[in-house]
Amino acid sequence: MKEIIIATKNKGKAKEFIDFFLEYDIKALSLLDLPGNIPDVEETGTTFEENATLKAEQISELLQVPVLSDDSGLEIDALNGEPGVYSARYAGEEKNDQANVAKALNNLEDVPMEKRTARFVCVLAVAAPGEKTTLHRGTCEGTIATKPRGNNGFGYDPIFIPQQSTKTMAELLPQEKSDISHRANAIMQLDEWIKTL
Ligand SMILES: O=P(O)(O)OP(=O)(O)OP(=O)(O)OC[C@H]1O[C@@H](n2cnc3c(O)ncnc32)[C@H](O)[C@@H]1O
Ligand SMILES: [Mg+2]
């Protein structure tokens, strides 16, 4: 089976990539699957595009193979787009999903439902040694619930209600999430590239 390296250490993302690539008969390996300790890439960019590029290019350079990276996050309109590129580290460097969710809910405490609009953004970068990196952006519009609901998914899924749904992303089945998610919308743009693998 063909393989592709995903430059991520996020288990939730890795699981979604494994499922997506299985449909193409390709095995997706995350940095958690590789032997040795792959160093963390410092996400010093101020945009999803910059951070996705940093992750894909540094890991591709290190491993000397084509690499796909994902930089993603949640933009909440009432918080001027926060947490945005800082989504993973919103409540601190330890990247605690529950603490991040609690902080977002707390900051939205008095914001009424009609003003709780938000979107998930996913930017994928494809990097290969000696080649120009390409970027692909997908989004998913929705609103922020007043309380977390559901146990599927990861990150901010328990408080994100996609536009098409009354359930939170964490109440959807994995297949239902991947029908509408920001990540799925970005991955669809890779169709041609995947066929070249
Ligand atoms: O950088 P890598 O190693 O890929 O892992 P990460 O968790 O640090 O990933 P990001 O830097 O891209 O930060 C994205 C954060 O945005 C949130 N996020 C991204 N996609 C999401 C999704 O599909 N559902 C819920 N939350 C998501 C989640 O909290 C992530 O930690
Ligand atoms: Mg990260």
Residue 93, pLDDT > 90, answer: no
Could you tell me if 101 and 158 are in contact, meaning their C-beta atoms sit under 8 angstroms apart? yes
Block residue for tokens 């947490």: 83
- Pocket flag, ligand 1, residue 90 (CB < 6 Å): no
CA 65 → CA 6, 50, 151, 187, distances in Å? 11, 20, 35, 19
Give pLDDT, residue 197: 87
**Is the model's pTM score more than 0.95?**
yes
Residue minimizing CA distance to atom 18 of ligand 1: 73
- Both tokens assigned to 40: 């963390």
Residue 179, pLDDT > 90, answer: yes
Share of the chain above pLDDT 70, in %: 100
From the candidates 19, 70, 71, 77, which is the catalytic residue? Answer: 71
Q: How many domains, the chain?
A: 1
CB burial readout 25-64, b (16+ within 10 A) else e: ebebbbbeeeeeebeebebeeeebbbbbbbbbbbbbeeee
Predicted ipTM beyond 0.90: yes
Could you tell me the residue range of the domain that residue 39 belongs to?
2-196
Rounded to the nearest 5 degrees, what angle is found at the Cα of 189, between the Cα atoms of 183 and 193?
115
Give pLDDT, residue 169: 98
Helix (H) or strand (E) holding 108: none
Residue 139, pLDDT > 90, answer: yes
- Annotation marks residue 179 as catalytic: no
- Pocket flag, ligand 1, residue 75 (CB < 6 Å): no
- Pocket flag, ligand 1, residue 183 (CB < 6 Å): yes
With 0-12 / 13-18 / 19 or more C-beta atoms within 10 angstroms meaning exposed / middle / buried, residue 166 is exposed
**25 CA → ligand 1 middle, Å:** 25
- Pocket flag, ligand 1, residue 103 (CB < 6 Å): no
DSSP class of residue 47? S
Closest ligand, as measured to the CA of 118: 1
Listed residue (51, 195, 74, 188) closest to 127, CA to CA: 51
Residue minimizing CA distance to atom 15 of ligand 1: 88
**48 CA → ligand 1 middle, Å:** 11
Instruction: Read off the CATH number of the domain in which 163 is found.
Output: 3.90.950.10
Residue 167, pLDDT > 90, answer: yes
Q: In angstroms, how far is CA 5 from the centroid of its own chain?
A: 15
